[in-house]
């Protein structure tokens, strides 16, 4: 059973508090969950205001579908840059 996993590191340069960061991160997570068949969670830098790592996962009986959902989610994140910047993306198919 294929599992596609992505780790997306983002910078939030205009965040001046954890509240600002949470506003951006929670918005991204909610939009990804609503639009795509993926699980999303904040994985690292919980206490750093201007940095976050999002873990995105999709499990399916079809590896191409799982990879496609992850790719669409990443494209969506990259298209929404404005209040944040994508620093690094790591995708794995397990």
82 is in which domain, residue-wise?
Answer: 3-93
With 0-12 / 13-18 / 19 or more C-beta atoms within 10 angstroms meaning exposed / middle / buried, residue 22 is middle
Phi, psi of 15 (to 5 degrees): -80, 125
pLDDT in tens, 31-69: 999 999 899 999 999 989 999 999 999 999 998 999 999
Number of domain units in the chain:
1
- For residue 67, the domain's CATH number is 3.30.70.1120
pLDDT of residue 42: 96
């Amino acid at each position: 059973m294929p599992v596609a996993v992505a780790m997306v590191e983002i910078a939030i340069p205009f965040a001046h508090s954890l509240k600002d960061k949470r506003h951006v991160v929670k918005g991204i997570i909610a939009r990804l969950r609503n639009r795509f068949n993926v699980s999303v969670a904040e994985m690292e830098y919980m206490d750093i205001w201007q940095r976050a790592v999002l873990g995105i996962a999709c499990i399916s009986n079809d590896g191409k579908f799982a990879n496609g959902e992850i790719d669409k989610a990443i494209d969506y994140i990259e298209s929404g840059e404005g209040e944040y910047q994508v620093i690094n993306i790591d995708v794995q198919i397990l």
